[in-house]
Structure formats: structure tokens, C-alpha cells
């Protein structure tokens, strides 16, 4: 199904044939792109999120492209809902992979973040991932094995104006490493992908004028001289789910063009020869970066 008229994946056709993979937060951005690539490679994808309408749109896209996609709308922060949903999904067979992509945050200095806001971001970005993974492991993967990929961020040196998200992403990375050790005995691999700046639909959700002014300039702080496409993040996720990564577990993969290594002692020198990989045939550039949609 992948190719000139569909998703242009770098991976071989049928790579995930017969596999069922859950992608949380699959209604937009990196989750949507990843779901499309997995479906193009033969997976039966189950996309989840809180808004059924967004899931329905992505499901229709994938089915139109010839792929298989189911949806499930629930809140990953609610333990009972997670338990019931995973049990329902497993009625149709085992799940072989999980992408914990659902998340969210908002720009704010620490002193302006309320306790409720801080807790909400932690519950969304790490508690939710824990809930879904634990239930999938205890209800199924402890018997079948599987692969889990958690989506984090560049939190290692702190995340000024995103302190709540940085704390949550750091916690999720530590959860990744602990889970890889504890659940390795079940044949469950757990890794994380830490995207740098990505030209995703999330760019258009920011309303603060200062933030909107900064985002188009982010490429100037990346040694490769640009920001990532959604497809460049998705391909890293797909690799970690694949058999080619069968001995990789407990790893944190930075996909950021060396942006996390930026140093004022050696600022970008005018990068060249760095071309974006764009496999997603339905991708639209964010309005903030000059897109029309």
C-alpha cells in the first residue's frame, strides 16, 4: 500500500502484517502520521484520543488509503477507563505494539503554573502512559511479549517556559528505563523517542504572540539548519517497534538534528546538504510556517 499513491515509508511493505498496534493521541500530529505509516506497512492500527471526531477523520483517511484502523475514545488519565478499554481492545486479539504519544502542555513560566495545571500536565504526559502500558502488559503482553515506544521531549537540560512538561517527560523517560528492566522477562521491549522541534499541527495551537514569533526561528538553533517533519519522528518510532530493534530496550532516542547539543560557543554555521524526509502523503505545513491549511 505504501508507495507513490500512499505513505512513502522507507521500510519494506508488509513489515507489520498481522500485527495490532495502539497509537494514543492518534487524531493529530505525530500520532496521526505514525498511525498512517504503520497502517501502510500492514498493521491493524488502533488509534485513541479523547475526541471521537478527530479519530473518525484519521480512521477515514487510513481506510481510504487501503489500511486497517479502529478507534477508541477515552481518557488515558482515568484508570478505570483504561482498564476497560484495553480489555475491550484485546477481545479482538493480542496487541503487539504500543505508541504512547498522547500528551499536551502549554507555555508558561514556573511561577504562573498552578498546582492543578502542573498536575494535569503530569497526568497527561506520564501517568496516562503508565496506565495504558501497565494494563496492556498485565492483561496481555506478559504472555505474548511486545514493543512499547514512549514519546518524550528534549528535557535533559530543563525546559524553560515548559517546566511542567519537562518534569513529566523526564519522569516518562525514567519510567521507560524501569519498565524495560522489570518487563524484559516477559519479552516486552520499552524505549522512548525524544523529538526535537517538529513542524507539526501543534504549532498552530499556540496563541501567545511571543511564542508564535519564536517558533519560526527555531531552525536557527539546530545544527542541521531546519526542524523535523512528522515523518522523521514516525520513522524512528516505527523502527523501534520493528524486529530490527529486537535487542534494543531501555533506550532514549533523540530525534532532534543535534538541537539538544546546541552551544553558544559554536552556533550553527549555515547548514547545507540536510534535506527533509517527507514520507507522509497527507501532511500539511502548519499555518505558522507558511502553510495554507
pLDDT of 209 reads: 82
Q: What is the pLDDT of residue 291?
A: 75
| Secondary structure of residue 47 in the 3-state scheme | strand
Q: What pLDDT is attached to residue 238?
A: 98
- Residue ranges of the chain whose pLDDT lies below 50: none
Whose CA is closest to 111, among 172, 158, 160? 160
Per DSSP, what are the bridge partners of residue 148? 98, 190
Nearest to 224 by CA among 185, 197, 242: 197
Cell 504572540, located at residue: 209
In the prediction, which pLDDT does 104 show? 86
Q: How far apart are CA 167 and CA 171, in angstroms?
A: 6
Cell of 208: 501567545
pTM of the model: 0.94
Q: How far is CA 66 from CA 4, 9, 44, 173, in A?
A: 13, 15, 11, 35
Q: What is the pLDDT of residue 270?
A: 79
- Candidates 3.40.50.720, 3.30.230.70, 3.40.50.150, 3.30.470.20; CATH matching 20-202+229-258+279-284: 3.40.50.720
In contact, 202 and 227? CB cutoff 8 Å: no
Q: Could you state, in order of their start, the residue ranges of all structural domains in the chain?
A: 20-202+229-258+279-284
The reported pLDDT for the residue numbered 157 is 92
pLDDT, tens digit, for every residue of 204-254?
A: 777 778 778 888 888 999 999 999 999 999 999 999 999 999 999 999 999
- Cα of first residue to Cα of last residue in the chain, in angstroms, is 26
Q: What pLDDT shows up at residue 4?
A: 56
Listed residue (76, 17, 88) closest to 48, CA to CA: 76
Question: What's the sign of the alpha-carbon dihedral 266, 268, 273, 279?
Answer: positive
Amino acid at each position: 500500500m505504501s508507495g507513490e499513491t500512499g505513505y512513502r515509508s522507507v521500510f519494506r511493505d508488509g513489515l507489520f502484517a498481522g500485527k495490532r498496534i495502539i497509537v494514543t493521541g492518534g487524531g493529530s500530529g505525530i500520532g496521526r502520521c505514525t498511525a498512517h505509516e504503520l497502517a501502510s506497512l500492514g498493521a491493524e492500527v488502533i488509534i485513541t484520543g479523547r475526541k471521537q471526531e478527530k479519530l473518525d477523520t484519521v480512521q477515514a483517511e487510513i481506510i481510504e488509503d487501503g489500511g486497517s484502523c479502529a478507534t477508541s475514545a477515552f481518557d488515558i488519565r482515568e484508570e478505570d477507563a483504561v482498564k476497560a478499554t484495553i480489555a475491550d481492545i484485546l477481545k479482538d486479539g493480542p496487541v503487539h505494539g504500543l505508541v504512547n504519544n498522547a500528551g499536551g502542555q502549554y507555555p508558561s513560566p514556573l511561577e504562573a503554573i498552578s498546582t492543578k495545571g502542573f498536575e494535569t500536565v503530569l497526568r497527561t504526559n506520564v501517568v496516562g502512559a503508565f496506565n495504558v502500558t501497565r494494563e496492556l502488559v498485565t492483561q496481555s503482553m506478559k504472555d505474548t511479549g511486545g514493543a512499547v515506544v514512549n514519546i518524550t521531549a528534549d528535557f535533559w537540560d530543563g525546559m524553560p517556559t515548559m517546566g511542567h512538561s519537562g518534569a513529566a517527560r523526564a519522569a516518562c523517560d525514567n519510567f521507560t528505563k524501569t519498565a524495560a528492566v522489570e518487563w524484559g522477562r516477559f519479552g516486552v521491549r520499552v524505549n522512548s523517542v525524544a523529538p526535537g522541534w517538529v513542524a507539526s499541527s501543534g504549532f498552530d495551537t499556540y496563541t501567545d504572540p511571543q511564542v508564535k514569533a519564536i517558533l519560526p526561528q527555531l531552525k536557527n538553533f539546530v545544527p542541521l539548519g531546519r526542524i523535523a517533519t512528522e515523518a522523521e519522528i514516525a520513522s524512528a518510532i516505527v523502527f523501534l517497534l520493528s524486529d530490527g530493534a529486537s535487542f534494543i530496550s531501555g533506550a532514549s532516542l533523540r530525534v532532534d538534528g543535534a538541537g539538544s547539543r546546541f552551544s553558544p560557543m559554536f552556533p550553527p554555521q549555515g547548514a547545507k546538504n540536510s534535506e527533509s524526509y517527507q514520507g507522509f502523503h497527507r501532511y500539511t505545513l502548519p499555518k505558522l510556517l507558511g502553510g495554507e491549511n
